[in-house]
């Protein structure tokens, strides 16, 4: 009987520890919740090493003869080899994440919204005064999936200002565990109705496949570090909002398969309150 009770107690303790770990690391239950809402439309771009394509083209000619024609088709990096009008082989090339672009719309439920367009490369900090993505490009890319009213602004209504870069060393032990390689964070000012500012960042990591459940916790920590870096270099008031795009699958194609998005309200004491 005693052994059974001991086993039951051990199982209960183990279950409690799992629940605590899940709440802390996955659900991130200590993060305050904001009453504001956010919407976003985000796309990503990939890069392909031309040497890889040339090697694949040469391999196909060796395999099927000099008449073999190999082409690269997008989206993705699909290789199609044709001989005499017939497809003889299909494959894919390895890809790497290049950049992300899109817009975030933030505001009270049913109230006026602030819009923040952006284009960011995690490996490159934009030069001061560099423009984000244009309204025309955003509307062309996302116009069918995002409400038309949120594209009714001009390029002059949004401005990208202070930018900082983050390395694995800047993030410390969490950066090493999640294999963070690089990050770029920029403050975007919305000068239209409901004026506001947002710190938008993109972080490239290679912790897939284990890290996505912990993306919220990782993003909150990295964003807090970026906010402190901006505060140390900028005389402007802290941004009203912050967004973290965590790229945890850099060798895949498509934003949904590549990154996760976490958006916060930045409160006066610099704490982050998660939206949605």
Q: What is the pLDDT of residue 139?
A: 94
H or E segment and range at residue 41: strand 36-47
Contact criterion met (CB below 8 Å) for 188 and 159? yes
Q: What is the pLDDT of residue 236?
A: 76
Domain borders along the chain are 1-30, 35-46+96-274, 50-92
Cβ neighbours of residue 123 closer than 8 Å, sequence gap 6 or more: 181, 182, 184, 204
Q: What is the pLDDT of residue 9?
A: 47
Contact criterion met (CB below 8 Å) for 73 and 80? yes
Choose among 209, 188, 205, 206: nearest CA to 197. 188
Q: What is the pLDDT of residue 174?
A: 59
CA atoms within 13 A on the CB side of 19: 6
| Tens-digit pLDDT string for the chain (276 aa) | 555 544 444 444 444 343 333 344 444 556 788 999 999 999 988 887 788 888 888 888 898 888 888 888 776 678 888 898 888 888 877 778 889 999 999 999 988 999 999 999 999 999 877 778 899 999 999 999 899 999 999 999 999 989 999 988 887 665 566 688 899 999 999 998 899 999 999 999 887 767 778 888 889 999 999 999 998 887 778 899 999 999 988 777 666 778 899 999 999 888 899 997
Q: What is the pLDDT of residue 29?
A: 56
Q: What is the DSSP string of 148-161?
A: GGGG-S-GGGEEEE
């Amino acid at each position: 009987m005693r052994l059974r009770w001991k086993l039951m107690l051990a199982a209960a303790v183990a279950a409690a520890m799992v629940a605590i770990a899940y709440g802390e690391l996955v659900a991130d239950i200590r993060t305050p919740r904001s009453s504001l809402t956010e919407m976003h439309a985000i796309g990503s771009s990939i890069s392909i090493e031309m040497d890889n394509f040339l090697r694949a083209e040469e391999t196909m000619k060796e395999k099927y003869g000099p008449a073999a024609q190999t082409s690269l088709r997008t989206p993705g990096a699909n290789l199609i080899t044709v001989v005499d009008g017939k497809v003889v082989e299909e494959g894919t090339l390895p890809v790497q994440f290049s950049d992300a672009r899109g817009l975030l719309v933030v505001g009270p439920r049913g109230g006026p919204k602030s819009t923040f367009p952006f284009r960011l490369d995690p490996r490159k900090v934009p030069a001061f005064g560099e423009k984000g993505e244009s309204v025309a490009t955003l509307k062309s890319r996302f116009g069918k999936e995002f409400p038309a009213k949120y594209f009714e602004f001009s390029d002059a209504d949004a401005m990208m200002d202070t930018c900082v870069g983050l390395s694995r060393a800047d993030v410390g032990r969490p950066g090493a565990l999640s294999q963070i390689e690089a990050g770029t964070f920029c403050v975007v000012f919305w000068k239209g109705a409901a004026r506001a500012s947002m710190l938008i960042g993109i972080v490239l990591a290679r912790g897939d496949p284990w890290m996505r459940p912990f993306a919220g916790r990782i993003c909150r920590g990295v964003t807090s570090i970026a906010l402190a870096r901006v505060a140390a270099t900028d005389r402007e008031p802290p941004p009203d909002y912050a967004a973290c795009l965590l790229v945890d699958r850099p060798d895949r194609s498509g934003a949904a398969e590549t990154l996760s998005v976490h958006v916060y309200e930045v409160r006066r004491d610099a704490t982050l309150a998660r939206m949605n």
